[in-house]
Amino acid sequence: MADINYWYFAIPVASVAVIYLIRRIRVWQWGRIRNRYSLAGKTYIVTGANTGIGFETTKALVNRDATVIMACRSIERADKAIGAIRKHTIKGTMIACHLDLATFESIVDFVQNIKENYPNFNCLINNAGLATPDSKQTTADGIELHFGTNHLGHFLLTKLLQDQIQANRARVVVVSSLLHQRGRIDFATLGKCVEPQGVISKANNLLYNSSKLANFYHARELYKRGFDAHVLCPGLCHTDFFRDYNPRWYHYIMFAPVVWLLLRSAEQGSENVVFCATDNVNTDEKNPATGYFVRNLKQTKSKTQFDDKIGTRLWTESEKFCSTILLREMGKIE
Ligand SMILES: NC(=O)c1ccc[n+]([C@@H]2O[C@H](COP(=O)([O-])OP(=O)(O)OC[C@H]3O[C@@H](n4cnc5c(N)ncnc54)[C@H](OP(=O)(O)O)[C@@H]3O)[C@@H](O)[C@H]2O)c1
């Protein structure tokens, strides 16, 4: 009988075991919320709640008896999401409201709805976001789509709700990304559809990264102005986020091992959002203004050297982009 070379079996089995072990360690490093106290009586506004991280955030909050206002650009998709969550839990309350962050007038209508019907909310979660390889797309108001939706839409929303946020001492949670570290704020091209040579690619979308840096600056400025602001990265998550990138079948095979080691589920990523909305504590040392953001349920120092002058100027420039709306809705600009 021929000798069996056991190495042919041992090597693949050992490789799979090592990968499995690394994955287990990573899942442990990502952390898990321990607190499960009831959120009955609390109201959360979640933008982009119909899918991905926003959907899982909504599910986790209602599972703890909260009321969630699901701010979505499609009521049909929001209703579908409510149906899907209702298959898991009968707890809490979900209310679908229309909000398109890429249209100033839609934001105004949404704010009006909140002021009239749900003025006592406890937390605003600025989660919705997108990335597209097409750098020429704009919002309905003619602003470059990443900056216009991810930053400016949420900036205007927060600004128009600021009286309620202050009166309710409500928390503001900003979903940024680790990729803010690769962004830059260029005031010469802010909000414009100009594509610096070679800068935008499928792998490195500077427009997206910069919008996430703008998110971080927004949280910093809010915190510095006395708001209970929290900023986070959910980690690389398996969601609908890459829908515009049309991955090919061989991409799945090529990147499968890396993805399997690094990729979180939307539910695992949402833990960071729920943690910021319910448990995270900012201290004098660790807060958005000192460059700390929540990652893996821990306050983590960003590598970005934040500049206070850029933060203040970004705030002023953002106000200018929506000045017509702000003048009309608020009567004056701060
Ligand atoms: N996934 C990741 O790996 C990752 C990593 C770091 C940070 N993030 C951040 O996490 C957040 C959530 O992303 P995700 O991964 O959950 O992506 P997703 O599955 O694509 O969900 C994005 C949500 O944003 C909504 N949205 C997009 N444009 C909108 C607009 N104009 N008005 C209102 N809602 C709009 C989408 O609505 P529709 O369904 O109608 O399009 C969807 O509900 C984003 O801010 C993203 O930058 C994600």
* Token pair belonging to 216: 């971080």
- Would you say the CB of residue 240 lies under 6 angstroms from ligand 1? yes
Q: How far apart are the first and last CA of the chain?
A: 88
State the distance from the centre of ligand 1 to the C-alpha of 5, rounded, in angstroms.
Answer: 51
**Cα separation, 274 vs 279, whole angstroms:** 8
Q: What is the pLDDT of residues 39-73, one digit of tens each?
A: 999 999 999 999 999 999 999 999 999 999 999 99
Q: What is the pLDDT of residues 272-290, one digit of tens each?
A: 999 999 999 999 999 999 9
**Cα separation, 101 vs 91, whole angstroms:** 28
Domains and CATH numbers, the chain: 38-330 (3.40.50.720)
State the distance from the centre of ligand 1 to the C-alpha of 48, rounded, in angstroms.
Answer: 6
In the predicted model, what is the mean pLDDT of residues 225-235? 97
For a mutational test of ligand 1's pocket, the pick from 51, 109, 145, i.e. the residue with the most ligand atoms closer than 8 A to its C-beta, is 51
The 3-state DSSP class for residue 64 equals coil
- Would you say the CB of residue 237 lies under 6 angstroms from ligand 1? yes
* Token pair belonging to 271: 């833990």
Band (pLDDT 50/70/90 cuts) for residue 333 is very low
- Would you say the CB of residue 99 lies under 6 angstroms from ligand 1? yes
Contact 234, 195 (CB under 8 A): no
**DSSP string for 251-308:** HHHHHHHHHHHHPEEHHHHHHHHHHHHHT----SSSSGGGTEEEETTEEEE-SS---H
Q: What is the mean pLDDT of the chain?
A: 92
pLDDT at 332 over 60: no
* Token pair belonging to 225: 């102005």
Contact 210, 185 (CB under 8 A): yes
Q: Which of 11, 4, 117, 138 is nearest to 71 (CA)?
A: 117
Residue-level pLDDT at 9: 79
Residue-level pLDDT at 202: 56
- Altogether, the residues listed in the chain come to a count of 334
* Token pair belonging to 97: 């409201």
Contact 104, 325 (CB under 8 A): yes
- Would you say the CB of residue 239 lies under 6 angstroms from ligand 1? yes
**DSSP string for 122-157:** SEEEE------S-TT-B-TTS-BHHIIIIIIIHHHH
User: Please, what is the angle between helix 323-330 and helix 308-321, to 10°?
Assistant: 80
Enzyme catalytic residues: 208
**Cα separation, 325 vs 282, whole angstroms:** 32
- Would you say the CB of residue 299 lies under 6 angstroms from ligand 1? no
State the distance from the centre of ligand 1 to the C-alpha of 37, rounded, in angstroms.
Answer: 27
**Cα separation, 265 vs 236, whole angstroms:** 9
**Cα separation, 105 vs 117, whole angstroms:** 18
* Token pair belonging to 158: 């927060």
- Spatial neighbors of 49 by CB under 8 A, at least 6 apart, are 55, 57, 58, 68, 70, 71, 72, 78, 81, 127
- Would you say the CB of residue 51 lies under 6 angstroms from ligand 1? yes
Q: Is the pTM of this model over 0.85?
A: yes
* Token pair belonging to 327: 């003048």
State the distance from the centre of ligand 1 to the C-alpha of 227, rounded, in angstroms.
Answer: 24
Strand 93-98 with 67-72, pairing: parallel
